[in-house]
């Protein structure tokens, strides 16, 4: 698939959104006291001293996802409009997460009581809703992309999109329901970013 210069730029935003988000988030996770991978999602990094770094991470990543959605729309055309709109919705939800922070939880940041919170703030509730909507939009985008790739006779991307959508749904919503569910949330995050990176690369005509 040949792309114009503007399309190449937009799709490159999709290539780099996931690696950027994870690199910035993981760097904070390793450097900030009290963060435990088995207990905490990256979103809680918006709290405490240095929390502005994760807030900026959300903003820049959300903008890159929205740009990637525009790139998808330009390359794939109007027949895949639904998939691109849902992908753009995912980016908007990431932007919303930058405004409405997750509540401190289970010892992070230091000084927060150990264990699950007994209450949730309005800001934390909106963050949770934005996350649930965002992962739903991402999964739907994966499923719609799978159908689009089947129509274009690209079975490898169709299978990747279908399996990624399933992993996002099971990871995020299973993570909410199960003990140690943060592992499922991590799965949804990593698989979702991997899908966006691979799709952006392939649509960009790169190996």
The per-residue pLDDT for range 169-198, each reduced to its tens digit, is 999 888 666 655 688 889 999 999 999 999
Q: What is the pLDDT of residue 200?
A: 95
Band the pLDDT of 207: cuts 50, 70, 90: very low
pLDDT at 49 over 70: yes
Cis peptide before 96 (omega within 30 of 0): no
> Hey, which residues does 108 pair with through a beta bridge?
105
Q: Taking the domains of the chain in order of start, what are their residue ranges? A: 5-203
d(CA 135, CA 156): 22
């Amino acid at each position: 698939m040949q792309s114009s210069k503007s399309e190449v730029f937009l799709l490159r935003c999709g290539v780099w959104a996931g690696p950027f988000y994870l690199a910035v988030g993981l760097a904070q996770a390793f450097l900030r006291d009290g963060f435990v991978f088995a207990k905490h999602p990256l979103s809680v990094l918006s709290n405490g001293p240095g929390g502005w770094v994760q807030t900026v991470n959300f903003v820049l990543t959300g903008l890159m996802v929205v740009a990637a959605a525009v790139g998808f729309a330009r390359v794939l055309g109007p027949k895949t409009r639904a998939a691109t709109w849902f992908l753009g919705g995912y980016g908007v939800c990431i932007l919303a997460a930058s405004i409405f922070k997750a509540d401190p939880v289970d010892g992070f940041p230091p000084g927060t009581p150990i264990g699950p919170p007994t209450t949730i703030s309005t800001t934390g509730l909106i963050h949770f809703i934005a996350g649930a909507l965002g992962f739903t939009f991402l999964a739907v985008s994966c499923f719609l992309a799978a159908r689009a790739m089947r129509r274009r006779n690209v079975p490898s991307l169709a299978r990747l999109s279908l399996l990624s959508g399933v992993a996002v749904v099971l990871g995020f919503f299973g993570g909410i329901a199960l003990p140690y569910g943060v592992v499922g949330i991590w799965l949804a995050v990593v698989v979702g970013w991997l899908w966006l990176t691979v799709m952006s690369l392939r649509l960009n005509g790169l190996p």
